Structure 1
Amino acid sequence: MDDLALTIGCFRYDTTQALFDGTTSVQGVDTTVETAATLPDIFERVIRGSGLDIAELGLTFYLRLLEAGTPLIALPVFPNRVFRHSCVYVNTGSGIAEPADLAGRTIGEFGTYGQDSGVWAKGILMDEHDFRPERSRWIIGGLEHPSPPFDFIPHPHPANVDITTAPAGRTLNDMLDSGEIDALFSANVPQCVLDGSPNAARLFPDFEPLERDYHRRTGIFPIMHTVVARRDLLATHPDLARRVYDAFTTAKNVAANRYRAHRRLYQVQSMVPWTNALVEHNHEQFPDDWWPYGISANRKTLDTALRYHYDQGLTQRRWQVDEVFEPTLLNT
């Protein structure tokens, strides 16, 4: 493969940093790794075929494309995973104190109805609190900057869910702060919350114990994003999928080993107070691997995500895990 050159697009996480700094790369391939200012910028590039051969892509974005037909195939690499009790925000004057209070309310969501954090938050609330998205009204828009819904993906949703677009010139952050929306499902913390506005707060202020309990009970660490590759590229180079998988896995393990070293080199690699206490706490709950890649270690989490997509009307049928990933990596 010495004559093969690839461009990879992904965000610069601890799990991918080794790809950016050259600590690891795709074996036998001239690899260029690029990022962007925002994740949707990366998603749009790979979906539009703008110079990326392999790229990080939101799982819900991929599933929408898969149903519509796509030249991309997913690899079981998951660089972005986040627990999602923390992503539901409410206007403090709305009277919303618990999930049941979301019924009949107006809720904002960034970019599309059913982006990754929203799918997981809705699904968890549906499983554990009898939440039903169709009982609420949904407004789609930009979080901190006015923007229309993403125009590079399909926007499926059930006919019985009331979905509209944010008014021109308005942001979901401002609408939450002013009370024009009662709640917001957002992967990013809205600026009004960061600024300490008395008008906005999390639905679950003490979210960490809830998320840890959810993980202990279910074994699920929600997967937000996967990595996709061009199908034609993998067809031409049959062992490339494994090489890409190995490169991302090595990069993830470099980050994991760095955190493990924190347990010995107390507060040497980070000056954030009590970093070691968090690493020790996490080690108790994730003793082996905080972020496993591959199918076998993630089958339950992936199957839950696919169920949520179907239950929320984002796919027309219930996809199975082995249908949506590169066949040569199903044994991982």
Structure 2
Amino acid sequence: MSPTDPTAPLTVLLGNHPHTRPLKDGTIPVEGVDCRYPESSPLPPAFARMVRYLAYDICELPMATYLQALDAGIPVTLLPAVLVGSTHHRSLTRLPQGPRIAPGDLVGRRVGVRSYGQTTGLWVRGWLQEEYGVRSSDVTWVTTEDIHVAHYVNPSYVERSRAERVADLLHAHEVCAAVLGPKAIGGQGAGLVPLVDDAEAAGLAWTERHATIPANHLLVVRDDVLRTRPDAVLAFYRALRQAIADTAGERDDSPAGRAVATGWSTSLTSCLDIAGRYALEQNLIGGPVDVAAIEKKTHFLDA
């Protein structure tokens, strides 16, 4: 069956989060729609499959990947949902036994990051410029993986390493600092320390200043599916909204807990606006992001 057939299952790629579990285990059904939930472990290769091959009908997608896909004209539409988010001042790390360096000391130095298009890196480079005056081009970014959007060409100040993990770059002294995502901080980043003194307070100050929380993972739908099966997309969105509401007690009051949400809001539009500005400053995209146009495409979901 064609994915645009009204009786075809929807293929939905979601990470394993408390708020997606009720959908994936069938506790919360999607009314009138058969949804299939393939697994991808690790998750990032699925993001590349989505933006390169449109492999899924609906897909969890990182903020930076979405902005690059939008800039490249890839036919996907943002659904108003934040699946993962948090502050990222603690994400810029160093070896505890190494020289004590501050974020402002990174000009002219080498910093490890999984990919130049990694969303955590987008947010880290954003606050580096905003708070310390360190532009992305002031640093050599050493990566361990390719970017998700295939035809994007990294800037000249990005290098590719043969190392398998970002933390390995630090331990091999190939870089002086490393950007690690939320899961990596508790894994390969165990024992590393933030460059920012009192990183949690600095992250909270960022959220108060901007009245939003940095979103890492959003949700997109293929344009052809949205166009031909809007009722199915609406049914899925409503089920996700219920799942997020029903699992609210499993999230704390930290930024990561409060970031998870559905619906167009001033927080989400501000988040997209700031991320778009950061992405443009960092040469991840070639032009400004029209947040109002993004919202207009799916305003009916919250009607």
Q: Specify if TM > 0.5.
A: yes
Between the aligned partners of 2:102 and 2:52, the Cα distance in structure 1 is 40
Paired position in structure 2 for 1:52: 56
1:24 to 23, 28, 32: 28
Q: Residues 164, 3 of structure 1: CA spacing in aligned structure 2 closer, same or farther, 3 A cutoff?
A: same
Between the aligned partners of 2:37 and 2:95, the Cα distance in structure 1 is 40
The runs of 5 or more residues in structure 2 that have no matched partner are: none
Paired position in structure 1 for 2:87: 83
Paired position in structure 2 for 1:293: 262
Report 1 or 2 for greater relative contact order, CA contacts < 8 Å, sequence distance ≥ 6.
2
Paired position in structure 1 for 2:137: 134
Between the aligned partners of 2:168 and 2:179, the Cα distance in structure 1 is 14
The amino acid across from 1:296 in the alignment is S
Between the aligned partners of 1:245 and 1:286, the Cα distance in structure 2 is 21
Pairing of 1:155-170 with structure 2 (within 5 A) = 155-158=152-155, 161-166=156-161, 168=162
Q: Residues 62, 96 of structure 1: CA spacing in aligned structure 2 closer, same or farther, 3 A cutoff?
A: same
Identity in percent: 27
Question: What secondary structure is seen at the aligned counterpart in 2 of 1:76?
Answer: strand
Deviation of 1:96 after TM superposition, in Å, equals 4.5
Deviation of 1:122 after TM superposition, in Å, equals 0.9
Question: What secondary structure is seen at the aligned counterpart in 1 of 2:247?
Answer: helix
Pairing of 1:1-332 with structure 2 (within 5 A) = 3-49=7-53, 51-92=55-96, 95-110=99-114, 112-141=115-144, 148-150=145-147, 153-158=150-155, 161-166=156-161, 168=162, 171-187=165-181, 188-189=184-185, 193-194=189-190, 196=191, 200-204=192-196, 206-259=198-251, 279=252, 282=253, 291-297=260-266, 298-325=268-295, 327-329=297-299, 332=302
Deviation of 1:8 after TM superposition, in Å, equals 0.6
Off by >4 Å, runs of 4+ in structure 1:
none
Q: Residues 169, 214 of structure 1: CA spacing in aligned structure 2 closer, same or farther, 3 A cutoff?
A: closer
Question: What secondary structure is seen at the aligned counterpart in 2 of 1:125?
Answer: helix
Structure 1 length as normaliser, TM-score?
0.79
Number of aligned residues: 295
Between the aligned partners of 1:100 and 1:240, the Cα distance in structure 2 is 49
Between the aligned partners of 1:252 and 1:330, the Cα distance in structure 2 is 19
Deviations 1:76-134 (A, max 9, x none): 11111121111111245663431111111101110x21310000111112112212111
Paired position in structure 2 for 1:264: none
The amino acid across from 1:228 in the alignment is V
Deviation of 1:324 after TM superposition, in Å, equals 3.2
| Cα-Cα RMSD | 2.7
Q: Residues 81, 253 of structure 1: CA spacing in aligned structure 2 closer, same or farther, 3 A cutoff?
A: same
Deviations 1:181-218 (A, max 9, x none): 11111212275642x3xxx4221363222222322332
